[in-house]
Amino acid sequence: MDHQRGLYYGLIRIHVLLHAAQEPIFGLEMMEELARHGYRIGPGTLYPLLHGMETAGLLKSAGENAHGRKRRVYRITAIGRRALNKARAKVDELHRELHEEHPTIERRRGRPNKGG
């Protein structure tokens, strides 16, 4: 896994939880949704990710028939919902820090910022 993929892997998992919290999801639909956000992810990556999230208790799956085809549909669990809420708080905090004009780490240490 290259450094970019490793960095984005957690964001992809949050996307999956977010969409599974809104409605049941399935693999192809999720690949298309992720592609709309700029993530290129194939079935060889997505299906193991979904399975791992199910093993971790974040998602629960069931086989369903849709238009004469069987597919596995994933729904968020209570554990997944709690994890999503915690992730949402962390992403909000990170978003604020990413968009601050001056980094906060130097202020927390009681030192002026080096660049300004």
CATH assignment at residue 77: 1.10.10.10
- What pLDDT score was predicted for residue 99? 84
Q: Answer whether residue 114 is part of any domain.
A: no
Q: Answer whether residue 11 is part of any domain.
A: yes
Q: Answer whether residue 23 is part of any domain.
A: yes
- What pLDDT score was predicted for residue 21? 97
Contact at 8 Å (CB) between 31 and 44? no
Kindly state the average pLDDT of the residues 21-46.
Answer: 93
Q: Answer whether residue 39 is part of any domain.
A: yes
pLDDT-based confidence at residue 116 (cuts at 50, 70, 90): very low
Q: Answer whether residue 91 is part of any domain.
A: yes
Q: Answer whether residue 99 is part of any domain.
A: yes
Q: What residue numbers bound the domain in which 88 lies?
A: 3-108
Contact at 8 Å (CB) between 12 and 49? yes
Domain count, the chain: 1
58-90: pLDDT as tens digits: 999 999 887 788 889 999 999 999 999 999 999
Kindly state the average pLDDT of the residues 94-108.
Answer: 71
Q: Answer whether residue 24 is part of any domain.
A: yes
Distance CA 57, CA 102 (A): 39
Q: Answer whether residue 65 is part of any domain.
A: yes
